[in-house]
Amino acid sequence: MRLDKFLCETLGVTRTQASRVLKSESVTVDGNVIKSGAVKVSEEAEIEFEGRLLTLSGPRYFMMHKPAGVVCSHEDAFNPTVFVLLDEVNGEKLHIAGRLDADTTGLLLLTDDGQWSHRITSPKHQCTKTYRVWLADPIAADTASQFEQGVMLRGEKQVTLPAKLEQVDDYEALLTIHEGKYHQVKRMFAAVGNKVEALHRESVGALELDETLEPGEYRPLTDEEIALLR
Ligand code: URA
């Protein structure tokens, strides 16, 4: 494939813009600056733009350790979005598979594979999500059984699906739910008279947050991790 065509596809630019990019000497092929769009590049070639590797190889998948204070949307008038933390070519083409509230931390998945994210977010698939929850008041003795039976959230017509609560201490628990209603965990605890003080998502399905990621950091998923959620 010609280098300029490769740049059009990976950077989402026109041929004219691709030749401007090449003239700016910001593209390397196997470490060498290349300025001609006519150069043929092989599938094995390592092509970088401004030091970032470009790949044609289909959908992308990332896990981020979402920090508090950033919002899960492409634009927000008041707060930074998770997309400002992404240093990816065409990062704005990624979408979030299962949003978190601005004050919630933990495992956030980003992809441009709509089918894959649908399996995570669609109510039909009931993909599990596990949250570590810190509460304002001691967890009542009957909270686990209430969550197991399902609780009625304000504004809903049906009780929540059975959820598993594992108490860590009086004020801390792990909650595993099979759905993703708006503010679900906060509303579940509100329904039993408690208040969530802090919330952290530890896992989605069998995929756990990589503990080596600091808040705000992210990395690509491995093939095995991607397969866990297929
Ligand atoms: N439930 C909530 O209440 N907030 C989140 O961010 C995720 C689940």
3-state SS class at 176 = strand
Element (H, E) at 220: strand 218-220
CATH number at residue 50: 3.10.290.10
Residues 98 and 112 grouped into a single domain: yes
Q: What percent of the chain has pLDDT over 90?
A: 87
Residues 41 and 66 grouped into a single domain: no
pLDDT band at residue 10 under the 50/70/90 scheme? confident
CA distance 161 to 151: 8
Q: What is the pLDDT of residues 19-63, one digit of tens each?
A: 999 999 999 999 999 999 999 998 889 999 999 999 876 799 999
Residues 75 and 109 grouped into a single domain: yes
How many domains, in total, are found in the chain? 3
Chain mean position to CA 214: 15
Residues 77 and 98 grouped into a single domain: yes
- Please, which residues have CB within 8 angstroms of residue 44's CB and are 6 or more apart in sequence? none
CA distance 172 to 139: 8
CATH number at residue 145: 3.30.70.1560
6-20, 96-110, 173-187 — which is least confidently predicted? 6-20
Instruction: Using the predicted structure, report yes or no on whether residue 128 has a pLDDT greater than 70.
Output: yes
Residues 222 and 176 grouped into a single domain: no
Would the CB of 143 count as within 6 Å of ligand 1?
Answer: no
Rounded to the nearest whole angstrom, what is the distance from the C-alpha of residue 180 to the centroid of ligand 1? Answer: 8
Would the CB of 179 count as within 6 Å of ligand 1?
Answer: no
CATH number at residue 117: 3.30.70.580
CA distance 228 to 94: 20
Instruction: Using the predicted structure, report yes or no on whether residue 15 has a pLDDT greater than 80.
Output: yes
Residues 135 and 195 grouped into a single domain: yes
In which domain, by residue range, is 142 found? 128-204
Instruction: Using the predicted structure, report yes or no on whether residue 92 has a pLDDT greater than 90.
Output: no
Which residues are the active-site residues?
Answer: 101
Mutation to probe ligand 1, out of 121, 185, 201, 202 (largest number of atoms < 8 A from CB): 185
10-14, 110-114, 126-130 — which is least confidently predicted? 10-14
Ligand 1 atom with the shortest distance to the CA of 99: 6
Q: What is the pLDDT of residues 138-173, one digit of tens each?
A: 999 999 999 999 999 988 999 999 999 999 999 999
Would the CB of 185 count as within 6 Å of ligand 1?
Answer: yes
| Residue 81 per-residue DSSP state | B
CA distance 226 to 114: 13
Instruction: Using the predicted structure, report yes or no on whether residue 122 has a pLDDT greater than 70.
Output: yes
Q: Residue 93 has what pLDDT?
A: 86
Which residue has a Cα nearest atom 4 of ligand 1?
183
Q: Residue 57 has what pLDDT?
A: 65
CA distance 8 to 6: 5
Residues 155 and 90 grouped into a single domain: no
Would the CB of 209 count as within 6 Å of ligand 1?
Answer: no
Instruction: Using the predicted structure, report yes or no on whether residue 222 has a pLDDT greater than 90.
Output: yes
Nearest to 6 by CA among 113, 115, 91, 89: 89
Residues 112 and 136 grouped into a single domain: no
Residues 81 and 95 grouped into a single domain: yes
Mean pLDDT for the chain? Answer: 95
Q: What is the pLDDT of residues 210-221, one digit of tens each?
A: 999 999 999 999
